[in-house]
Structure 1
Amino acid sequence: MVLCLLRLWGKDDRHLLPPARTVYSTDGMLFKGQKLGKYKILASLGSGGFGAVYLARDTWIDKDVAIKVPHKQHQSFGDLLREPRLLASVNHPNIVSITTAEKQDDLFFIVMEYVKGETLETILMRDGALELRRALDYAVQICNAVDHAHRQGVLHRDLRPANVLVSDNGVLKVADFGTSRFLEIAAHGTTVIGSPAYMAPEQFQGKAVFASDLYSLGVTMYQMLIGELPYDPPTPASWHKLLDSSLLRSPHVKNPAVPKRLGEIVMRALAPEVTERYQRAADLIEDLLATRPLVLGQTPARVDDVAAARPAGRGGPSLERANIQRRLHERAEAPVSRTCWHCGKPLHVRAGRCPFCGEAQ
């Protein structure tokens, strides 16, 4: 039939035929150079249990984007739209933003912000425990994202370093809301969702609540401070071992350089019983910010090492040590110029929240 039409139209009229339909692999896999509507695939960024993510170029506006293709393309259109609708409800600087959701040639995909950088998991695997100030900064940023999501009624349910992106300029973005649910929906479900190493005890029973995300954040904070998980990940059959509080040792006990108060905060986030844990991310942020002076004051703890390495002046080692302590104390107390990590505007030295954009610091 097509050949007959071509003979009738002639060679120069072939452009009048409908464009050939692009055929994609059955599992939604895309390849470098492949076109998906106006998007050109540049590279694969990774694949998880719920979908594959690609770096792509929006050829209309010359902008790099991230494209997520769910594995389960056979789901109803409403189910496919669940994740993009959740993302649209949690617009925040510390959450990967969504651009749109589209369907091309029967392939559904989500177009999201591309974050140039690496995952927190990659950083921890490479560097181990983070410097205290950096760990606290990262914890507060993640907590800001969780606080915003919870205020919209959204539970993440799979909060872990692999789902936290660290941009080249140090801004953290929580990603992968594919397992998320609105609280009222999650409360009536029994499906076990999450990664065992970061799951709260109640998640193994399919009973995730807001405090479950804060437990996952507690595991992540522990890992940032110590460089390892607080315990060996349980199997689904041995989750009840998490109810034994003796399983955990405070980060301060394992590393005395971690302030005792910061260790107590992490341990409260990791409380086995939901009622003993932080209930609101805002409360966790407040306690974390209160430890900033302790974290910034860690340098004087190394005074003995500094004094031992320097020649003693007049008055002997004791006077030299006292002088070093005095100078370090004065440096710690001196006002430091600060700017908001989010909007970049100047802040008062003791400001806990930016008066311009409202973000916790």
Structure 2
Amino acid sequence: MPTRDRASTAHRARYTVLRRDRLPTSSRGALPTAYSSESNRTYHLHQLLGKGGFGEVYLATPAPRGGLPTQVCVKITERLSPWLRESYFAELLYRQARALRILDRFVVVDGTRTRYCLVMEYAEHGDLGAWLASKGAQPERFVRRELAGILTVLDVLHRGQALHRDLTPFNVFVCEGEQLKLGDFGIATHQLSHRGVTADAFNLFNVPTEIAWGKVRRWQQRDDIYQVGLIAVMLLRGDITSPIRSRDVRKLPCSDQLKEVIHRCLGVRGKRYEAAGELIAALRHSSTEPGFSRVRSLAGKRVSFTGFLSRPRSEAMAAARRAGAIVQSKPGRSTDVLVRGRTNVLQIAGAVGGLKVMEIRRLAATGHIVKVIGDGQFWKLVKSRRRR
């Protein structure tokens, strides 16, 4: 019996039991104060900031303050799993300036009720959705800078084989100096392989359609990238409610190079940036315009066409076949030559290029080089073949 008593006492010592003067006073069970046995601080809860499936978030002041800010947020939940995840990833990302900081973590026991508490940095401007509602659309320079900041955090996760899975405007927070920070790691997890993890937890309105419709059941790092692309669109538009399709990217108020980056984030799953590191590199370096190459013959070559040619496309395709070429509707890993005509300014990335030019850039990054020839060189090649 004495042994059992000591064990029971030791078990309780790991938790915080509310005193009578700290018991809930409202019908909702809100805590007037919460005491942390981890830091020996009392947090005075003042205002309910948000409530949802995760629990409740309160604006609070710490006492004694010590090195903490004057105001903090206390997140209270009855669910152990998200509390453990957030605590773990807070430790992992503690040195990352663009990750919302977790300042304290503790457990409160009130009779048979257990509540798990996280003390977080206070985002004075709220989440991204609330901030955009008052601020509106943002210039490209701001969008690039803030995306780069968020991506530094995501890059740490991806290099550690972890996934955020919930990069929504409600989990991106606007802090002091209107600086965006990434928070809420309640469903973040590690993957054991590049195949990803089961897509069993996500926000239906901020995920790729193939996952929302159940066609793909694995969440991968490229799906985090999709959500970053959505954040970029929301910042440029100043709106988090309007849907975006990949073909609508050309209407965004930004440079053609950024349109190309966003389109790849939101486009076909297999062609997205595979991880945050790739997206960071794409934002840092402008797209390289594919130069024209010299091709001696089209015989046996796989050829694709893009842009406005000097003659109808059907005539060009027939001429290519007569010259011994194999015509493809769009470039891929087997393509040898792309015939590029006059640029269509209404294409996805404007003057930078359309889907086919973007694809050969992507293929070049993987080591497969597609030679590009102009309209004039193409007709010379098919004519020389005809003379022979």
User: TM (normalized to structure 2)?
Assistant: 0.58
* DSSP 3-state at the match of 2:98: coil
Q: Deviations over 1:256-303 (max 9, x none)?
A: x52111101000011232x210012112112212359xxxxxxxxxxx
For residue 83 of structure 1, what is the aligned residue in structure 2? 86
Q: Distance in 1 between matches of 2:74 and 2:256?
A: 43
Residues 1:90 and 1:183: Cα distance change in structure 2 (over 3 Å): farther
Residues 1:99 and 1:46: Cα distance change in structure 2 (over 3 Å): same
Q: Are 2:83 and 2:118, in contact at CA under 8 Å, matched by a contact in 1?
A: no
Q: Distance in 2 between matches of 1:166 and 1:153?
A: 26
Q: Percent identity?
A: 25
Q: Does 1:212 align with 2:223?
A: yes
For residue 226 of structure 1, what is the aligned residue in structure 2? 237
Residues 1:250 and 1:110: Cα distance change in structure 2 (over 3 Å): same
Q: Distance in 2 between matches of 1:25 and 1:154?
A: 40
For residue 155 of structure 1, what is the aligned residue in structure 2? 163
Residues 1:153 and 1:30: Cα distance change in structure 2 (over 3 Å): farther
Q: Does 1:66 align with 2:77?
A: no
Q: In structure 1, which of residues 277, 286, 302 is the aligned counterpart of residue 281 of structure 2?
A: 286
For residue 313 of structure 1, what is the aligned residue in structure 2? none
For residue 246 of structure 2, what is the aligned residue in structure 1? 248
Q: Higher helix fraction: Structure 1 or Structure 2? A: 1
Q: Which runs of 5+ in 1 are unaligned?
A: 1-17, 234-246, 293-361
Question: What is the CA distance between 1:213 and its match in structure 2?
Answer: 0.6
Q: Are 1:66 and 1:112, in contact at CA under 8 Å, matched by a contact in 2?
A: yes
The residue correspondences of 1:1-361 to structure 2 (distance < 5 A) are 20=20, 22-24=22-24, 29-30=29-30, 34-37=32-35, 38-61=42-65, 63=68, 64-70=71-77, 73=78, 75=79, 80-91=83-94, 92-105=96-109, 106-184=114-192, 190-204=198-212, 205=214, 206-228=217-239, 232=243, 247-251=245-249, 253-255=250-252, 257-273=253-269, 275-291=270-286
Q: Distance in 2 between matches of 1:110 and 1:185?
A: 30
Question: What is the CA distance between 1:54 and its match in structure 2?
Answer: 1.2
Q: Which runs of 5+ in 2 are unaligned?
A: 1-17, 36-41, 288-388
Specify the structure having the higher radius of gyration (Cα): 2
Q: Distance in 1 between matches of 2:193 and 2:33?
A: 37
Alignment length, in residue pairs?
253
Q: Higher strand fraction: Structure 1 or Structure 2? A: 2
Question: What is the CA distance between 1:22 and its match in structure 2?
Answer: 4.2
* DSSP 3-state at the match of 1:192: coil
Moved >4 Å (runs of 4+): 25-29, 77-80, 185-189, 228-231
